[in-house]
Structure formats: C-alpha cells, structure tokens
Structure 1
Amino acid sequence: MSGFKSLFKQTFIYGLATVLPRMLGFILVPLYTNPNVLSVEEYGRVSFIFAYFVLFNVVLAYGMETAFFRFFNKEESQETVTSTSAISLILSSFALMGIAFLFRHQISALINIELKYLNLVFVILLLDALVIIPFSWLRATAKPMTYAIIKIINVAVNLGLSIFFLLYLKDLADSSSVFNSIYKPDFEISYIFISNLIASGLTLLLLLPFYSKIKLKFDTVLWKRMMRYAMPVLIAGIAFSINETFDRILLEKLLPDDIADQQIGMYSACYKLALFMTLFATAFRLGIEPYFFSHSKAENPQKNYAKILEYFVAFGSVILLTVVIFADLIKPYIIQSEAYYEAMWIVPFILLANFCLGIYHNLSVWYKITDRTKFGAYISIVGAIVTLLLNYMLIPIIGFKGSAIATLSAYGIMMMLSFYFGRLYYPIPYNFKKIGLYFGLSILCSMMYFYVFRGNYFIGITMLIVFLGLVILLEKNQLKQVLKS
C-alpha cells in the first residue's frame, strides 16, 4: 500500500498544480461572460480561437512528451533522453513557427482567424512548446512542488493581466497619460491573448535553468526510436484535439453566420461547468502516468492498476452526481449573464463525457506499457470519426446539443474499445461488479435528477447521501489500509 500512498501524494500535488490554476482560471469565465466586458458573440470568438490552440499545441508537441516518459524510465542514460528530446522540440518548434509566419496570411484565410489574433497565437504556441520537456522532466524526476509553483505563477500572471486589461485599464487611461498610451478601445480579445503571451514568456524564463543544466547531446539513433514511439501518440493527439475542441470549429462552420458565435459562446460557457470532472481526471492522470511506467516491471503490477481504476471510478462517480445536482446553484457564480443559460442542457452530457475520458486514460495503461501506442492512435481516430460524423449530422438539426451528444458518444466508444483490446493484450483483473455499480448508478441518478427532478434538492441531496454512503461502505477497508500505510 506504500506505493498507493506515494501515488496519492503525487496526485494531490499535481492536482494542486492543476486544480488551483484552473480554479484561478475559473475567474476568467465570470470575467469573460460579464456583459460589460465581452458580448456572448465575442466570448464565442475567443472560444473558437482557443479551439485551434489545442490542435496546434498537439502538432508542436508531436507525442514527444509521452516518448520522453517512456524512454526516461527505459534507457540507461536519462541525460541523453532528456537532451535529445529537448533539442528535437527546440528545432522543430522554431522551424514550424517560422513556416507558419511565412504563410500567416493564407492560414488566417483558411481557418477564419483574424491576422491580428493569429500573430499572437503563433508566439504563444512557440513559448508553450519550449517548456514541454522542462515540465516533463520535473514530473519524471519527482519534483511536483516546483512543477506546481511554476504552473500557478503562469496562471496567476495570466489572470492578473486579464483582469487589469479588461476591468481597470480603461478607467486608468482616462486619468493617466501613461496608461492612456497602452489602452486601445475595442481591443478586449487582443488583451486576452497578450495576457496569455506574457504569462507564457515568464514561464519559459522560470524554466530556463533547465536548459543550462542539460548537456547539448543529440542521439540520432535514440531520436529515431523515440519518434517511432511518438508518431502514433501524435496521431492520437490530433484525434483527441478533434474530440476535445473541434465541436466549436464545426459549430462555426455549420451554423448560420448570424448565430454561430453566439451558440459557441453559450456552449463554451456551460461547458466550463464540467471543469470539476476535468480537473479531477487531469490531476489523476498526471499522477498515475509516471507511476504506470515506473511500476511496469514490478511483481504483478496489474493488481495495482486494477485498484487504481476502481478508486478513480468511485471518486469520479461522486463528482459527477454532486456537480449535476448543484449545477444550477453553481452557475451564477461562474457564468455572469443569463444569456448563456440556454446551453445548461449539455452539462450532464459533458460531465459524463469527461468521466469516460478519464476512465479511458486509466485503461490506456495497457498499450503504453506494452509499447503498442498505435492502438491509442487507432482508438482515437475512431473517436474523432464519431465526433465529426455526429457533429455534421446533429449540429444543423439541434445545434450545440448535437455537439454534446457527439462528445459523449466519442469518449464512451473510446473507453469501450480500450477496455476490449486491453483484455486481449494486457489483461488486468478489474473489479467489474464494483466499477459497474458506481458508474451505472451515478449515471442513472444524475440523468434522473437533471432531466426529471431538476430543482428538487430534497431528492437530489438524498440521492447523493445514499450514493456516498454506498461508496464509503464498500471502500472503507481499502481506505483504512491506504491511510495506515
């Protein structure tokens, strides 16, 4: 059980690194949805541009982060792995961004993002790509506190500048010539990306000591092996980005021009209520990914992997039901305008979709440990195809509701495919009765409450108490062992 205690400690700290910045980032949603700051259409435009951020980030990383973790724990010379992967990303990032700037006018016309925003996006992407390996190295060498502090500084700076630019700069410009020189009217969207750019630049500055420590040694043979491992991860990443954000892009393409940005704005704002599940799943993944690799050679690691999924589903089920029951109480604190509330219908679907995605990440241990990363690519491609097909079919009929249904369908199918192939190539003795009970009962209660008894908190809270009691009853022995170890 000591391994689990170490895992939970790392997961907690990585969770801190993820949850606190995201919770700070949560402040941006009420800021952006404040009608005095951005209109629904403007917030939709920001969300649309950030959708492309995800896709471009995946391309610039091209699976090297995952390859780094695999080879860092596998190769004798960890220094060589670190320097080779860092040099690879430095060269590729500058090369790709150089090409992007040369063809920026064509790219702007192709993806329908104004050039003034696209130029800022390119610089941010370059800065973010240069910190991928330094952050990965911090995780691989068990330095979660440093990782957490830098992540928190990044988001705190981003938030502070966003609040300054969007709320205070205009008033300060009226009373001071200094601030008047940097204030521009109708420049709100640009200020959002400028805040992001400064935060990313500061993050790179804080991580520069990493580059001074590594030896500039590039192993061509090792790099080729890492790239063979990384390419399926890249394909999977592109497919994941389609599943994660392409719904905004397709809403912009498939809806009439006069309502597209508004629909994207409402959808994106209500999508944020699923953040609680996303935070939990991301923190858990950051904690378990190094654990999966470092314990792969231990005696009977499958037993521990099975227990980890059981814990994830238990906690995730509680989060799903809790957020669904209290979503209407939470929303006014996050979404500042009732103009967005029309999209609340999507909340249970997006929460459940992210829950399925978290389960998928836990199940994916089998293809990472056995070096069958191509299966991750295959499964993700299937998910991307489902996302594209259902969005194309449903958006013209039911708008953003179709996107929510497509997201849940894609992640649900990916989860089931990973489970199926995992049983064939790397059997893990999961406790299906307990996992199925938690998963199925939380879904049933969530859907019944939100679409039948919504607003009846007596029924909702009773459901939650009963479910919590069940989880505690079934897991009390395991929890005692973890706490005592």
Structure 2
Amino acid sequence: MNPLKRLASQTAIYGVSSVFGRFLNYLLVPFLTYSFAPAEYGVVAEFYAYMGFLAVVLAFGLETGYFRFRSTGDWPPEAVYGTVLRFLLLSNGLFFVALLVLSQPIADLLLHPGHPEYIWWCAAILALDSIGAVAFARLRAENRARRFAVVKLLEIGANVGLTLFFIYVCRHAFEADPDSLLGRLWVPEIGVGYVFVANLAASLIKLVLLSPQFRGGLRVFDTVLFGRLIRYSLPMVVIGFAGIINEMLDRAALKYLLPYDAETNLAHLGIYSACYKLSILMSLFIQAFRYAGEPFFFSYAKQSDARQTYALVLNWFVICCVFLFLVVVLFMDVFQYFVGSAYREGLDVVPVLLLAQLCLGIYVNLSIWYKLTDRTLLGAGVSLVGSGITILLLFWWVPIHGYQGAAWAHLVCYGSMVFMSYLLGRRYYPVPYEVGRVLAYVALGVGLYLGAGWLESDLGWHALVAGGLAMAVFLVVVLMADVRRLVLARAAA
C-alpha cells in the first residue's frame, strides 16, 4: 500500500475511535459545566493536571522505547514487550501502595483535607492506565488498529455512562428519595469526585478487555535489553514531563498564580479549563496522528524516499490542522454552547489555544529527527527549554493578564519549540520540508479568521455567512494548490 494511504488509513481508524470516543468523553464537559459551579469543576481540572504529570513519570518513556527496540530486530518482539510490561507492573504497583499510605498528608498539602480518597482514586487510575498503555502500544506495533479502537471506545463509553449514572441518575434519585436504592449510591460529600470514581471503573474495564494482550508478556524479562531500553527511554521521560509542563502546568498552577481569593481562583481555573476543551477537534486529530505516526515513522525510515514522504506528511498535516482551526473559530457562535453560560467569558482564549495546538502538532512531526537518530537527550533539551519558557511566562503573565496570559504562554512555548526542532533537524536528520508552504497555510488560516471577524463587526455580516465564505476560500486554495499537485504527481508516476 502507498505509505501515505497506509498512514492515512491508520490515522483514520485511530481517529474514529479517538474522535468519536473522546467526543463522547468531551460531552461530559457541557454536562459537568451545567451541573457544577466553576469552582467545583476547577477541582476536576486541577487533579487531572496533576495526573498528567504523574502519567509521564509512571510510563518511563518505555512506549517509545518499545517501538524503537521492537523495530531493530535485535531482540524478539515478545522479549521487548515482556521486559517493558514486567517493569511497569512492579513500578506502578509500588507507586499505588505509596500513595494509598500517604493519601491524607498529600490531600492536606493540596488543600483538600476532606478528600483523601481523591488521592488514591487518582493513583489507581494512573497505575491501571500506565499498564494498559503498553498493551495498547503492542496493538499499534502489530497494526491492530481496529482492536485498539474497539477497546478505546468501550473504555470511554464506560467512563461517560458511569459519570452520567452517578451524577445525573443517582443524584436525582437521592434528591427525590435519599433512601431509595439508587439514591443511596449518591454521597453529597463526594460530589464532583464521582468523575474520578467513574474513570477508575472504566480503567478497570479497559484492563480486563486488554487481558489477551498480556499473554506471554509476564514470562520474559531480559536484563541486558532492559538496560538499553531504560537508557534510551529515560530521556523520553524528560521530554514527556517537559511536554506536560507545557501542556498542563497552567491548570495545575492557576489557582496559586491568579491574584484573587482561593474560591475565585478555582472558578477562573474552571472557566479556563472548560474553554480549553474547545480545542478538542485539533487535539483529537493530533492524538490520532501520534498513534498512527510514531510506528509509521520508525517502520518507514529505511525506505529510499522516507524524507520526502515525511515532508509531504507535514504539508497535509498542517492543511488539516488549519482546517480544524477555522471550523472552530469561524463558527464559535455554535461551539460556545459546548460550555455553560457561566464559562463563556473565557472564549477569547480559544483561537490562541488552537494556534498553540497547531504548533504542537508541527513539533510532533519535526521531532522524528531525534527519535530516528537516537539523540533523545538533545530532544529532551528542546523540551526543557520549552518548559523554561512556559514557567517564566506563566509566572510573569498570569498575575497580570489572568488565564489569557496562560493561553499566550502556550503559543509562545510551542512556537519556540518548533523553531528549535526545525534547526536541529536540519543538522542531524535533514528533511526537505516546504517551510514556505507550511507558513503560508498558517498565515492564510489566521488571515481568514481576522477577515471573517472584519466582515461581521464592520460590515454587519451574519457570523455564519462570514465564516462560510472564509471556509470556502480556504477549501478552494487547498484544491488548487495541493490537491491538484497531488493528482498530477500520481498521474506522472
């Protein structure tokens, strides 16, 4: 199969499961924002931010290490898989026990002394998800995208269904009759914590569904291989941790950096986090591309036209991302209903966050230079510089500009990482990226967004009409500039 078709096919399958599944999951955002006050929703955003940091550490970068050493052919795939799986089982088991014992002191430290159960619920979710991730990596390496998609959808469906069950069904049953069978399942003191309960149950269901992928893995552990795996993978922890700083530190730190009282800070965190979810289309596409792209880049690296193919992939990736950017920003009058009315004051950060996500996606493409040349330490350096920029700008801008400062910190950080990665890639793994074409598409997207806003505000056009015209212009440009070129190239071949 044509490599681009194969990558597109795999991305589509991962994308269907990711987009449809995560769309179901993100439907919880309007449900939760209509069900809880911003300060209560801020608690969920805060804990998931902490979990994002810990998830990177608990994976030890071994997912990428698994793909790398599986593709070399120096060890049997089962040996690589078993070595990774057994180590993650041990390390995550110890982590869960430690947080179970220390749950109350940690809850006190995080200013949630009345809810130590939040700590061990989140610890259990993290441990189960880390172990499940290696089983998902095995499915991806074996090109079993459909099996991957089915399990993902079932997990997300369970999470959404259980959340609705506890917070809607049981809550209403409690309000009608606290002594009823369903009413007894609702404990008002837990409140928004039922989000964690539902997630924990869904993670358990996922691990049961993935149990066939664990067969044979527990019998093998190669100490020599483990040494090489961990040396390759640990810099990926730095990269991943730095990436989480860039992606989630704002939500972990806003309640401490905003210049208001604790309740108001949590409310602003809830507003920002809810509006952040409006970048769902872009983030889902990037996630689906990552699932398909990482094994593709490794497996295709030895082909004679690999670098030209990678450049073409970036072109079409950017076209898709700019399209998604326009879908959201041009039709914000529709997307605003995704969040409750109390949260809509933060909608002005959405275009900035979408552009930041676009830069992150470009960086994902460019990062092949350090993965394919085993220069993961240099890759870690890029991520650390990005993290430094994020931390500096958050501490500088958030106290002055509020959560708007956090959104701009994202954009500056990811833009800087794209620039650094491109320069290093030119030195260590040159790919003939069409930089002018990529920048032109990004500029076109921003220009059409600003132009549609001008038509609406200055000329009085209806927002949907102005947005529809801008989208039509973009599609015509893509058709004439790139679809036509691709068709002519196939005809010549």
| TM-score normalised by structure 2 residue count | 0.93
| Structure 1 residue aligned with 2:31 | 31
Q: What letter corresponds to residue 328 of structure 1 in structure 2?
A: D
Change (3 A) 1:483 1:13: farther
Change (3 A) 1:209 1:182: same
Identify the match of residue 428 of structure 2 among 408, 425, 429: 425
Q: Which runs of structure 2 are paired with 1:211-360 in the superposition (5 Å)? A: 211-214=214-217, 216-255=219-258, 256=260, 257-332=262-337, 334-335=338-339, 337-360=340-363
Identify the match of residue 400 of structure 1 among 397, 403, 406: 403
Change (3 A) 1:251 1:449: farther
| Structure 1 residue aligned with 2:96 | 97
Q: What letter corresponds to residue 66 of structure 1 in structure 2?
A: T
Change (3 A) 1:447 1:236: farther
User: Which moves more between the two structures, 242-251 or 432-441?
Assistant: 432-441
Change (3 A) 1:382 1:112: farther
Identify the match of residue 196 of structure 2 among 193, 196, 201: 193
CA drift at 1:29: 0.8
> CA separation in 1, counterparts of 2:169 and 2:463?
40
CA drift at 1:102: 2.8
Q: Secondary structure at the match of 1:33?
A: helix
> CA separation in 2, counterparts of 1:85 and 1:341?
44
| Structure 2 residue aligned with 1:179 | 182
Change (3 A) 1:171 1:111: closer
User: Which moves more between the two structures, 296-305 or 144-153?
Assistant: 296-305
Q: What letter corresponds to residue 49 of structure 1 in structure 2?
A: F
| Structure 1 residue aligned with 2:482 | 475
Matched, 1:411 2:414: yes
Say whether the 8 Å CA contact 1:273–1:327 is kept in structure 2: no
> CA separation in 2, counterparts of 1:436 and 1:456?
26
Say whether the 8 Å CA contact 1:364–1:376 is kept in structure 2: yes
> CA separation in 1, counterparts of 2:124 and 2:269?
25
Q: What letter corresponds to residue 117 of structure 2 in structure 1?
A: K
Matched, 1:369 2:399: no
CA drift at 1:127: 1.1
> CA separation in 2, counterparts of 1:59 and 1:481?
47
| Structure 1 residue aligned with 2:61 | 63
Q: What letter corresponds to residue 170 of structure 1 in structure 2?
A: R
Say whether the 8 Å CA contact 2:96–2:120 is kept in structure 1: no
RMSD: 1.9
Q: Secondary structure at the match of 1:73?
A: helix
1:201-249, Cα deviation, whole Å (9 max, x unpaired): 0000111122223351111111111111111100011111111111012
Identical-pair percentage: 36
Change (3 A) 1:263 1:304: same
User: Which moves more between the two structures, 412-421 or 171-180?
Assistant: 171-180
CA drift at 1:447: 4.2
> CA separation in 1, counterparts of 2:455 and 2:104?
50
Q: Which runs of 5+ in 1 are unaligned?
A: none
Change (3 A) 1:481 1:138: farther
CA drift at 1:422: 0.4
Matched, 1:9 2:16: no
Matched, 1:460 2:461: no
User: Which moves more between the two structures, 356-365 or 96-105?
Assistant: 96-105
| TM-score normalised by structure 1 residue count | 0.95
User: Which moves more between the two structures, 449-458 or 218-227?
Assistant: 449-458
> CA separation in 1, counterparts of 2:255 and 2:227?
39
Q: Which runs of structure 2 are paired with 1:123-202 in the superposition (5 Å)? A: 123-173=124-174, 174=176, 177-202=180-205
> CA separation in 2, counterparts of 1:355 and 1:312?
9
| Structure 1 residue aligned with 2:111 | 112
Identify the match of residue 388 of structure 2 among 363, 385, 389: 385
CA drift at 1:407: 0.7
Q: Which runs of 5+ in 2 are unaligned?
A: none
CA drift at 1:448: 4.9
1:139-162, Cα deviation, whole Å (9 max, x unpaired): 000000000000000010010011
User: Which moves more between the two structures, 169-178 or 60-69?
Assistant: 169-178
Say whether the 8 Å CA contact 1:5–1:482 is kept in structure 2: no
> CA separation in 2, counterparts of 1:341 and 1:75?
53
Q: Secondary structure at the match of 2:303?
A: coil
User: Which moves more between the two structures, 90-99 or 340-349?
Assistant: 90-99
